[in-house]
Each structure stands twice: as structure tokens, then as C-alpha cells.
Amino acid sequence: MSYIKILGSGKVGTKIIKELYLDHTVIAVDSDETKLQEIKKLTRIETEQADLTKKQDIDRILQQDDTDLIINALPGSIGYKILANTIDYGIDSINLSLFKQNPLELDQRAKDKGVTAIVDAGIAPGLNNLILGYHSQQMEVEKYKCYVGSLPYERNLPLQYKAPYSPLDVLKDYIQKAHYIEDNKKIVKDGLSDPEYIDIDDIGTLEAFNTVGIRTLMETMDIPNMTEKTLRYPGHRKLMKTLIELGFLSDTPVNINGKNIKPLELTSKLLFPKWQLKKGEAEFTVMLVIIEGKKEGNDKKVEYTLFQKDGEESTSNSLAQTAGSTCAALTELLLSNNKITEGIVPPEYLGYSKDNFIFVWQYLKDNEINIDKNEIVYREI
């Protein structure tokens, strides 16, 4: 039994807690005492209140000698700082936090401390990286595409979207540059660019567009073409572009009556109540991973389709289920496998091992994460 601290007790963090607390000693850490009390009602685990934007609280949480593992499920705005501090304290970690900084820059720092830090440990990035890493060892991959999104079943104008996590993180994805590989060249484009339409069974047509891009895959994989796109209902992208053009998503402060206000933060505050899923509101998460290339001289195409509906419990939703279960799977993998290398470990590295891939695949299957695989080999006659 390991001693694990989970930083962040939102829906994803709560899902991870519920999957791990029976087999490990789990401590939930959050700044919101109300959330912690709700978690204690569900699981009867230990909790610690801490504001992890403050150095003294970070030190208090990380300096305890009996911690075997930190799970970082915090917003991207503080996630990188927490990862760096966790490394400095010599503690292994699993990181779901989607910060904009490049985690691979901390690789040597982690190795010097003898630390293993798995990053991007959610669904996308996360599970998709693991899938690509695995197939890169099984075939010569020439093209990789990923489409992913979490949406409510009901489309409500004008936003046609609700965020199961921080609206600020969603909006930052829209204004960041998107990075991907095309014909072996690194390409940078604006967020919300290159729209295309994807048909999803039982849902209809969704619109795909560039957001952050392929993150660690830019450096870890030698594949000629790699793209990842976000899925939304048609119309949402255009509205977000309008907000950008009007300055509502600017991070530059505007002086209003002597006070400096960032339009991005104000917009996020205004959207927060509009983007909250109502109790019992039906929603889903969908991810398509398409890998094309050659194996033994024949063209080969592999497609994975994940489609997860919302959970029956009020503490869970489809994104929490998929991201939380993937994180829990990687946690169990790290705790049970001494062969995982020290340093910064993105999921594609884990996918290089068939045993790792099977371990995660079986864990997700056991936890009712619904993934279909379709494999086609085109043989020359």
C-alpha cells in the first residue's frame, strides 16, 4: 500500500480518489474546505486544506517524508510550478495538469533527483499518446491524427458548449498557438484555425479545429505528419473567434476606473455560470485516434474510437471518468513497475512497452471505459 497525495479535488481528482483509496492511503489536498468535506462523505479518506499558490503551503504539503507519490490534478496556471517543486523534493508524480510550459525542460532536473514524473496523464493528451507510442513500435507510422472533445448532448445557443472543468483553461487553449508536424516540418498556427467537419455516430456533425497541438510529441516522435484537434458543435468556434477579435480574450490588462482588469479573466468569470453543467445534464466525451503507415511493406491503418457517456453519480462526468481512470491506470502502472525510467515521462514513452499498453488497456476495460479498435491492413495483390 502506497501513500499518495492528490492535489486538486475537482471532478477528475475525485474520480481518481475513488479508484485508488481502497488499495492505497490517499490524502486529498485542496484549497476549498467544502470540496474536502464532500470527499470525506464519499470515501472517509484524510484531507488537507492548502492554498498551493502559496510557497509555504507547497512546502508544507511536499516536505512530509512519508509521501510515495504526488498526483497533480491542479489548473494549468500552477501545474508546472507544482511539478518543479515536486521534483525538487524528490517525490515521484503523475501530472494531469495541462500547463503551457514544456515539461521536458525539467527532464535532467528530475533525473538528477532520481525522480519519475509522468506528465500529460489524462485522455488527450494522455491515452492518445500511449496509443501512438505503442503503434510506433508495431509499424512505420506516417500519419497520426487525433480528434477529442467533451460536450453536452443538448446544444444551447449562443455558446453551444459547457466546460466540465475551468473555463479559463478552455479559453487559454483557444488563444494559444497550435503546434503540429506536417511533412516533417514543425508548423505553428493560431488556435481555432483549420476547421473541418467530423461525423460522429449517434451525435451528428462536429467541428474540429486546432488548439494547443501535439505537445510532447513534437520532440519525442519522429513521424512525418501529426495533428490533434478539438471537437465542438459547429458555431462555437466562430463565436470564440469573434470574442478574440473584439479583445474579450486578451491577457493584456485594461484600466477601468483606476483598476487594471484582464479581459480574459473577466470573460472567464462571466462564462463560468453559463458553462456549468446542470445536475443530471447529459454529456459525453469522444476521441478518435487515426494512425496510418506501413507494416512489412503493406499499408496499415488503425483507428481507435472512445465514446463515454456521463456518469450516473453527481460527482462524475464523462471527462472525469476517462481522464481519471487513465490517470489511475498510470498510477498503478508506476507503483507496480520498477522498469519505468527516471526523468520526465510522457505517455508515449510508456506505450513503447507492450506490457505497459496492455496493463492500461485492461485497467480501462475493467473500469468500463468504452474504446473500440478497428485495424485494416491493405495487402498488395
pLDDT tens, position by position, 275-307: 888 878 889 999 999 999 999 989 999 999 999
Q: Which of the four pLDDT bands, split at 50, 70 and 90, describes residue 38?
A: confident
pLDDT exceeds cutoff 60 at 313: no
Residues 25 and 154 in one domain: no
Residues 324 and 303 in one domain: no
Please tell me whether residue 366 adopts helix, strand or coil conformation: helix
341 closest CA partner among 54, 150, 166, 114: 114
Residues 158 and 18 in one domain: no
d(CA 118, CA 346): 6
- Containing structural domain, residue 249: 127-309
pLDDT value, residue 316? 67
Q: pLDDT digits over 154-182, tens only?
A: 898 899 998 766 778 889 899 999 999 99
Residues 118 and 133 in one domain: no
Domain boundary among 309, 327, 362: 309
Residue linked to cell 474520480: 15
Residues 151 and 289 in one domain: yes
pLDDT value, residue 381? 41
Can you say how many angstroms the Cα of residue 4 is from the centroid of all Cα atoms in its chain? Answer: 20
Q: Which amino acid is at 203?
A: I
Average pLDDT, the chain: 92
pLDDT value, residue 188? 96
Q: Are 289 and 227 in contact (CB under 8 A)?
A: no
With pLDDT > 90 as the criterion, what percentage of the chain qualifies? 76
Please tell me whether residue 343 adopts helix, strand or coil conformation: strand
d(CA 239, CA 260): 26
Query: Beta-strand (E) ranges in 153-295?
Result: 178-182, 185-189, 196-200, 204-210, 225-232, 254-256, 259-261, 283-295
Residues 183 and 93 in one domain: no
Residues 155 and 188 in one domain: yes
Average pLDDT over residues 25-50: 89
User: Residue 353 to residues 4, 87, 138, 363, 375: CA-CA distances in angstroms?
Assistant: 25, 25, 10, 16, 19
d(CA 162, CA 170): 10
Q: pLDDT digits over 76-98, tens only?
A: 889 999 999 999 999 999 999 98
Domain boundary among 261, 285, 309: 309
pLDDT value, residue 175? 93
> In terms of DSSP H, where are the helices of the chain?
11-20, 33-43, 55-62, 76-88, 107-112, 127-136, 167-175, 217-220, 236-245, 263-275, 318-336, 347-351, 354-366
For residue 303, what is the enclosing H or E element?
strand 298-309
pLDDT value, residue 365? 94
Q: Does residue 97 form part of some domain?
A: yes
Q: Which residues contact 167 (CB under 8 A, 6 or more apart)?
A: 268, 271, 272, 275
Q: How many domains does the chain have?
A: 2
Of the listed ranges 65-74, 138-147, 232-241, 351-360, the least confidently predicted one is 65-74
Q: Does residue 377 form part of some domain?
A: no
Average pLDDT over residues 108-125: 96
Q: What grid cell was written down for 140? A: 512505420
Q: Does residue 35 form part of some domain?
A: yes
Residues 300 and 207 in one domain: yes
Residues 41 and 80 in one domain: yes
pLDDT exceeds cutoff 60 at 311: no
Q: What grid cell was written down for 253? A: 490588462
